[in-house]
């Protein structure tokens, strides 16, 4: 398919947009797919059954535009009222509404210089001023550096692609210091060892927490995300949503997500399995000479001092193992590796061991 560079029919400014680039999704089988942070385990059986049961003649009708039943289950899970919950078609859509509804002000918003690459996309799309705040040398978030006039703060916790997390006490201090602006905590990976800021919502009317069903609930294919916050913040998001798409979640997504969040036992089971494999993988990478950041996510961020990340990426791909590489200067020698099943993690480690051993035997880098 020929790539179109520009067109005279485009709206003003579209040619300058730098769109988000998702991780590779192979169209055939046989890959060890560790590049997009999907859950390596299947969804809750209760969720699958709820979806099957919803495949009936009612699909001719529009879904509940408010997602009333799902909101109630999410609210119960977090000990909040249903008016503290907003639903969207994946957390990316929720974040898009957040940027439009809560973060478009005269002052710039602040977010880390190494972070989720959709943030600058939204700023470009909606014309939002921003300032990127550099991470510390160890890739941690330096909260003192956010003591700047701002129109809002956006922090992923744990951060992506680093996996490094902030504590609840650290987040409380940030919120106390920024009472006059919205603080958005993007918690796509929080369930793998970090602390959710949702517990702070009763204390802070300027806090918005964004989560997803894609990772710890194993429902990336359904596209369900949500935000938690003071009802005034939720109302702003609802106004944006209803000016864009009043029905963001279909009937199958609504019932599947509700069953998933109500199946607490299965949620705990699969997140614990991912954490065990993550810790094992981190230790094994260390034995191979990799330097890996402490992760509280379902991925690790790692580099090998003697072997270029881009070459490791290419050699692994030759063996049908996909990992993620970013070209940003500070992290160009790092790989982000999603935590797969234990067997997938072992396959990855075996492949890396073979690559590094072959390079050592020939006294060359992996790229030779």
DSSP per-residue codes, 73-96? HHHHHHT--GGGEEEESHHHHHHH
Residue by residue, DSSP assigns 126-195 as HT--EEEEPPPTTS---GGGG-S--S-EEEESS-TTT-----HHHHHHHHHTTTTS-EEEE-TTGGGT--
Q: Do the beta carbons of residue 301 and residue 246 sit within 8 Å? A: no
Q: Is residue 366 over pLDDT 70? A: no
Q: Is residue 195 over pLDDT 70? A: yes
φ and ψ at 43, to 5 degrees?
Answer: -65, 165
Q: Do the beta carbons of residue 166 and residue 190 sit within 8 Å? A: no
Measured between alpha carbons, how far is 157 from 46 in angstroms, rounded to an integer?
Answer: 29
At 20, the pLDDT band (50, 70, 90 cuts) reads: confident
Domain 17-41+265-358: CATH architecture, name and number where available? Alpha-Beta Complex (3.90)
At 3, the pLDDT band (50, 70, 90 cuts) reads: low
Residue 238 CB contacts under 8 Å (≥ 6 apart), including other chains: 86
When the pLDDT of each residue in the chain is averaged and rounded to a whole number, the result is 95
- Single out the residue of 236, 241, 19, 263 nearest to residue 121, CA to CA: 19
Residue by residue, DSSP assigns 220-276 as TTT--EEEEE-HHHHHHHHHHHHTT-S--S-HHHHHHHHHHHH-HHHHHHHHHHHHH
Q: Using a pLDDT cut of 90, give the percent of the chain over it.
A: 89
* pLDDT tens per residue across span 301-353: 999 999 999 999 999 999 999 999 999 999 999 999 999 999 999 999 999 99
Query: How large is the angle between the packed helices 251-262 and 68-78, nearest 10 degrees?
Result: 20
Q: Is residue 367 over pLDDT 60? A: no
347: left (phi over 0), alpha (psi -120 to 50) or beta: alpha
Domain 45-263: CATH architecture, name and number where available? 3-Layer(aba) Sandwich (3.40)
The widest CA-to-CA distance across the chain, in whole angstroms, is 66
- Single out the residue of 260, 238, 220, 192 nearest to residue 82, CA to CA: 238
Measured between alpha carbons, how far is 321 from 342 in angstroms, rounded to an integer?
Answer: 14
Side-chain-side CA neighbours of 323 within 13 Å: the count stands at 32
Q: What is the pLDDT of residue 10?
A: 87
Q: Is residue 259 over pLDDT 90? A: yes
Which of 22-31, 222-231, 270-279 shows the lowest per-residue confidence on average (mean pLDDT)? Answer: 22-31
Q: Which carries the bigger pLDDT value, residue 361 or residue 245?
A: 245
Sorted by where each begins, the domain ranges of the chain are: 17-41+265-358, 45-263
* pLDDT tens per residue across span 132-143: 999 999 999 999
Measured between alpha carbons, how far is 187 from 228 in angstroms, rounded to an integer?
Answer: 11
* pLDDT tens per residue across span 216-252: 999 999 999 999 999 999 999 999 999 999 999 999 9
Q: What is the pLDDT of residue 236?
A: 98
Q: What is the pLDDT of residue 368?
A: 44
At 14, the pLDDT band (50, 70, 90 cuts) reads: confident
Which token pair is 187?
Answer: 């918690």
Long-range contacts of 73-77 (CB under 8 A, 24+ apart): 73/258, 73/261, 73/262, 74/226, 74/228, 74/261, 77/261
* pLDDT tens per residue across span 72-88: 999 999 999 999 999 99
Report the run of H or E that residue 116 belongs to, with start and end.
Answer: none
Measured between alpha carbons, how far is 364 from 367 in angstroms, rounded to an integer?
Answer: 8
* CA quadruple 263, 265, 268, 270: dihedral sign: negative
124: left (phi over 0), alpha (psi -120 to 50) or beta: alpha
- Single out the residue of 301, 354, 291 nearest to residue 37, CA to CA: 301
Measured between alpha carbons, how far is 52 from 43 in angstroms, rounded to an integer?
Answer: 13
φ and ψ at 169, to 5 degrees?
Answer: -65, -40
* pLDDT tens per residue across span 90-99: 999 999 999 9
Q: What residues form DSSP beta bridges with 156?
A: 186
Q: Which carries the bigger pLDDT value, residue 367 or residue 267?
A: 267
Q: Is residue 8 over pLDDT 90? A: no
């Amino acid at each position: 398919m020929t790539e179109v560079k520009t067109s005279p029919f485009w709206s003003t400014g579209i040619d300058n947009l730098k769109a988000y680039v998702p991780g590779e999704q192979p169209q055939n089988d046989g890959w060890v797919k560790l590049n997009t942070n999907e859950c390596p385990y299947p969804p809750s059986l209760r969720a699958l059954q709820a979806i099957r049961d919803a495949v009936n003649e009612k699909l001719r009708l529009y879904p509940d535009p408010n997602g009333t039943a799902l909101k109630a289950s999410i609210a119960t899970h977090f000990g909040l009222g249903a008016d503290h919950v907003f639903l969207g078609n994946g957390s990316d859509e929720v974040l898009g509404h957040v940027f439009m509804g809560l973060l478009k002000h005269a002052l710039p918003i602040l977010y880390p210089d190494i972070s989720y690459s959709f943030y600058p996309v939204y700023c470009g799309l909606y014309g939002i001023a921003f300032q990127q705040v550099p991470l510390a040398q160890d890739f941690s978030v330096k909260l003192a550096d956010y003591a700047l006039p701002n129109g809002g703060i956006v922090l992923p916790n744990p951060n992506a692609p680093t996996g490094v997390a902030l504590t609840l006490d650290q987040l409380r201090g940030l919120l106390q210091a920024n009472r006059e602006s919205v603080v958005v905590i993007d918690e796509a990976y929080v369930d793998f060892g970090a602390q959710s800021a949702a517990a702070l919502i009763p204390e802070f009317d300027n806090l918005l927490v964004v989560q997803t069903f894609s990772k710890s609930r194993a429902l990336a294919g359904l596209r369900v995300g949500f935000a938690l916050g003071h009802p005034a913040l939720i109302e702003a998001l609802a106004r944006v949503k209803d000016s864009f798409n009043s029905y963001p979640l279909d009937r199958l997504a609504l019932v599947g997500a509700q069953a998933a969040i109500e199946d607490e036992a299965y949620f705990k089971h699969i997140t614990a399995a991912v954490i065990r494999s993550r810790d094992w993988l981190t230790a094994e990478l260390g034995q191979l000479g990799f330097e890996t950041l402490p992760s509280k996510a379902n991925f690790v961020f790692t580099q090998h001092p003697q072997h270029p990340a881009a070459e490791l990426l290419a050699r692994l791909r030759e063996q049908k193992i996909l990992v993620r590489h970013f070209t940003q200067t500070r992290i160009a020698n790092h790989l982000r590796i999603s935590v797969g099943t234990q067997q997938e993690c072992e396959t990855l480690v075996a492949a890396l061991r073979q690559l590094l051993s072959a390079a050592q035997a020939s006294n060359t880098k992996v790229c030779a």
